[in-house]
Amino acid sequence: MIAIIDYGAGNIFSVKNALDYLGIENKLTKSKDDIENAKGIILPGVGAFSWAMKMLRESGLVETIKEQAKKKYFLGICLGMQLIFEKGYEFEECDGLGLVKGKVDKIIEPDLVIPHMGWNRLEYNIKDCPLLEGLGEEEYVYFVHSYKAFCNDENVVAYCTYGNKIPALVTDGKFVFGAQFHPEKSGNTGLKILKNFVRLSGEVY
Amino acid sequence: MLAKRIIPCLDVRDGKVVKGVNFEGIKEVGDPVLCAEEYNRQGADEIVFYDITASYEGRGVMLDVVRETAKKVFVPLTVGGGIKTVDDIRETLRAGADKVSVNSQAVLNPQLIKEGADIFGCQCICVGIDAKKTAENKWTVYINGGRVDMGLDLIEWVKKVEQLGAGEICLNSIDTDGVRGGFDIPMLKEVVNAVKIPVIASGGAGKLSDFADAFLRTDCSAALAASLFHFKELTVDEVKADCRKKGIAMR
């Protein structure tokens, strides 16, 4: 079973819909037991960084997530990806989950529209990352965000370009992954990435 | 690089797809969920459902359509038509829409844009605008499906919409809608220059080259069409291939 963490953030149903469509056993949950028993964990999210961390803390899940992400595959999506870093600066400085080194701050591109919204092309940085299996050279995925990760190049699986480079898919090099884009809204490319994640985590489908 | 988007729109009444010509003489055809799946296969970058049902019961049917589509189609879904309150927005997003498009109600109650953007994020508030030319480089905003002239200047309105927190504008030209002579380039240009948020061109696509034309002649972010795709005169992939051939970034 893949646990989709339900901490009150919007739009979690689309992640569930995508896993259901792929025939993958999954559960929307805020229970520690479910997260501990899951083969893999997905942390979705739309909203503000500090609000989401507050919700996670109130659900008592921060320690569980930190602990579980050391031994099973974890995928943060959009805000869920941003939360895996050490700090966020949306409205106020706020501690993140600290699973990957780096911080999250505003995208500053005076000549460009913010939010960065729409389909952008993945530029691979770690080509042999198992989440990219089966993807071609020209793959577009769907982004909606106004903040981005600032982190080490060695943690970036793929970038996209919007003025400057934006980390699109990141990893701690072990179990933790984060997608700034929405794989559940990125057509077949996104579904392939979700399948790859599920296969990695050892869940059968 | 951010790709330009091609967006097929499905006008839905009582759970069935329809398409009006200049908002009148509405013809009815098809199951919206099947149509959305087909557009998804063709490579649609986003799908818009425009609910033209007036009744309360009809809204429930529309939400069922969204729910079913969201289980099978994994690209962004936008739902417009009849959205009047923050609760309507919440309900629509919960059913599986990624964005809502507010039109008449935004003109009648501009605070709806601000409230919606504050609660749900600006990225999910698209403001739909129907406008008609009154003089050279002058347009006014209409509501109620293009029937009522509000005497509101288009450029003033788009600036206000942006300032209230809208994430996007879907700009429909009443003059070119249904005429199939191409998008309203002068109107698009003025609006794109007036705001920083993405602008979707709507109304007037009649042939393959109209889409690339809009992208090459204006900085619009996306182009939307309904009947052209619906009556299978063109497919989304044909349109995208033509744009790609002309050097426009496409998914």
Q: Say if B250 falls within a structural domain.
A: no
Half-sphere CA count of B30, side-chain side, radius 13 A = 21
What pLDDT does B232 receive? 86
Q: Say if B159 falls within a structural domain.
A: yes
Q: Say if B147 falls within a structural domain.
A: yes
The answer to whether B70 contacts A10, with C-beta atoms less than 8 Å apart, is: no
Q: Say if B35 falls within a structural domain.
A: yes
Read off the pTM: 0.92
Q: Say if B251 falls within a structural domain.
A: no
Q: Say if B26 falls within a structural domain.
A: yes
Half-sphere CA count of B141, side-chain side, radius 13 A = 24
Cis bond leading into A110, ω under 30°? no
CB contacts, 8 Å: A10 with chain B: 93, 120
Q: Which of A108, A144, A194 to mutate to test the interface with B (most CBs of B within 10 A)?
A: A144
Encode pLDDT of A57-73 as tens digits: 999 999 999 999 999 99
CB contacts, 8 Å: B94 with chain A: 13
Contact of A18 with chain B, judged by CB distance below 8 Å, is answered with yes
Which of B2, B120, B168 has its CB closest to that of A10? Answer: B120
| Cβ B26 vs Cβ B18: under 8 Å | yes
Q: By CA distance, what is A194's nearest residue in B? A: B74
Maximum CA extent, chain A: 47
Which of B96, B120, B221 has its CB closest to that of A118? Answer: B221
Strands (E), chain B: 5-13, 16-21, 24-28, 47-51, 77-80, 99-102, 125-135, 138-143, 148-153, 168-173, 199-202, 222-225
The answer to whether B198 contacts A117, with C-beta atoms less than 8 Å apart, is: yes
**Domain span at B123:** 5-245
CB contacts, 8 Å: B167 with chain A: 115, 117
Report the SS3 class of residue B180: coil
Q: Which residues of B touch A (CB under 8 A)?
A: 1-3, 5, 40, 43, 45, 70-72, 74-76, 93-94, 96, 98, 120-123, 167-168, 196-198, 221-222, 249, 251
Which of B3, B74, B167 has its CB closest to that of A185? Answer: B74
Mean pLDDT by 10 residues, chain B (251 residues): 95 82 57 93 96 75 94 96 92 92 96 92 93 96 92 98 96 94 98 96 96 98 94 94 98 96
Cβ partners under 8 Å of residue B193, min gap 6: none
CB contacts, 8 Å: B196 with chain A: 113
Instruction: Determine whether A182 is an active site residue.
Output: yes
Q: Chain A: give the shortest CA distance to residue B40, in Å.
A: 8
* Euclidean distance between CA atoms B225 and B90, whole angstroms: 26
Which of A21, A116, A119 has its CB closest to that of B71? Answer: A21
Conformational region of residue B209, where left means phi above 0, alpha means psi within -120 to 50, and beta covers everything else: alpha
Q: Which two tokens stand for residue A181?
A: 């884009």
Maximum CA extent, chain B: 46
Conformational region of residue B2, where left means phi above 0, alpha means psi within -120 to 50, and beta covers everything else: beta
CB contacts, 8 Å: A46 with chain B: 121
Place of tokens 């059913």: B95
Interface of A with B in 70-109 (CB under 8 A): none
Domain ranges of chain A: 2-201
The answer to whether B98 contacts A162, with C-beta atoms less than 8 Å apart, is: no
Tens digit of each residue's pLDDT, chain A (205 residues): 999 999 876 668 899 999 999 999 999 999 999 999 999 999 998 778 998 999 999 999 999 999 999 999 999 999 999 999 999 998 889 999 999 999 999 999 998 888 899 999 999 999 999 999 999 999 999 999 999 999 999 999 999 999 999 999 999 999 999 999 999 999 999 999 999 999 999 876 5
Q: How many structural domains compose chain B?
A: 1
What pLDDT does B23 receive? 47
Domain boundaries A2-201, CATH class: alpha beta
Sequential DSSP letters for A144-161: EESEEEE--GGGEEEEEE
| Cβ B176 vs Cβ B184: under 8 Å | yes
How many C-beta atoms surround the C-beta of residue A122 within 10 A?
23
The answer to whether B93 contacts A11, with C-beta atoms less than 8 Å apart, is: yes
Catalytic residues of B: 11, 130
Q: How does DSSP classify residue B2?
A: B
